[in-house]
Structure 1
Amino acid sequence: MIELKSPAEIERMEVTGRFVAEVLAELSELADVGVNLLDLEHHVRGRIRERGARSCYWDYAPSFGNGPFRNVTCLSVNDAVLHGLPHDYALRDGDVLTMDLAVGIDGWVADAARTVIVGTPAEEDLRLVRATEEALTAGIEAARPGNRLGDISAAIEAVATGHGYAVNGEFGGHGLGRTMHEDPHVSNTGRAGRGLTLRAGMTLALEPWFARTTDRIVVDPDGWTIRSADGSRTAHSEHTIAITGDGARVLTRQPSRQK
């Protein structure tokens, strides 16, 4: 069941979205050679506590995970792309780090992810990250009333294939609002003109993610961290959006100053 949000409710989601964007921008600045993933995790715990927000990840226990998730961030390095479990790891020069954050403030949720390259970037890693960002932009542009859900999926997939990346269809975007995961599922692969008709008031998290040379995934023994099956590097970009009469409104837009 899809719950359409009123303009006032979308405003409240944007309050949460601004906080999520601010914290991701802070993590992007903090992520440097020698910085431990656990230091990033504890920074976010402090920010959530100061803001009086609620982590959507803490105690999250979906069917695909290994028991309750006991962290407030997903931090995924190199071939890890989704649900990365923060652990004792010092970032190295050239690491590709994906940071994913979802919180609730006053009962309304926002979810976003950003991939950065630590230290000296390799050109092929920059290209991969930019492809996910381009795909996210294309998906957002397709999120207009009267379009179909498949238009978003097809727009994302077209960018991926244009860059030569295969697309995994097992994990993608989703509705959200009062909780982190609501209907509908938003696949990163699909056919234009198919699926649910988009309506003003729908709020979605769009999250294209690609691996450099495969669309297959494996799960770590920790039961959470999802990696490319062939060990190739990965990237992931995500925004929470609201569909309005004028098109998509990005609720988790990054502050203007970026790393």
Structure 2
Amino acid sequence: MTARSWPAVVCGVALVVSASACGGEPAEPRDNCGVVVDTTRYADYPTAKELIDQHLVAFGKTCGWAAFAAVTGNSVGTPCQRPSLRLVATADENPKDNPRVARLVRERRLGEFYQHAVSLLTKCEDPASGSDVLGGLRVIGQRLRDAPDRTAPSKIIIFSDLMNNKGALPLQKGGMASAGVREAKVRELRDADLLPELAGRPTITVHGFNLLSEKEGDRVSQLEQVWRAIFAAAGAGQVSLL
């Protein structure tokens, strides 16, 4: 998918048309958007890229600015991270407020937005082993706090099965079935300053979580409860695990 083909996918037609012609594109997209892509064993799922193709377009419709975070075995220090993107034209790029210029700039930036996400999934090379999902969430939380317009609504999309197996959150070991254990784990993460800080109560949508049921279906329920507790403690708004 390229910058020119993005609007065609948004509209669901074969022809390349402008994003503003789709009807669903807001006149002035301004949401601060976070995109988290798991580059670890999750990337081996056959449908991992398909989930990006299916869901990133709709997510991007309201985004005026976007930040990215890769999940690796060393998410905070990984060389795989990508720079943030402004997704609408600046005054310097469109000094006369020309709708055509604004549309062309947005089409190009949305293409870059898509390519950033896909390159995280397919081209990240990090020698660190394991999956530090929690670290990736701390990265995206920090980047959203650094957004140029802190008054804008925020939302986060995560492509991951959320199987964190590094550091203080070794979910592969299980043992999270009881509410007391989960509450204690959240306190431990908070005390160690390992919880993400998700300012502005961003909505969170996770795509790929249910892929875990193919491998460890009996543990999906307790993992969902663990992550809902973590997201709530981190300051998230509505959370969807799909």
State the TM-score, normalized to the length of structure 1: 0.25
Give the structure with higher Rg (CA): 2
More strand, by proportion: 1
More helix, by proportion: 2
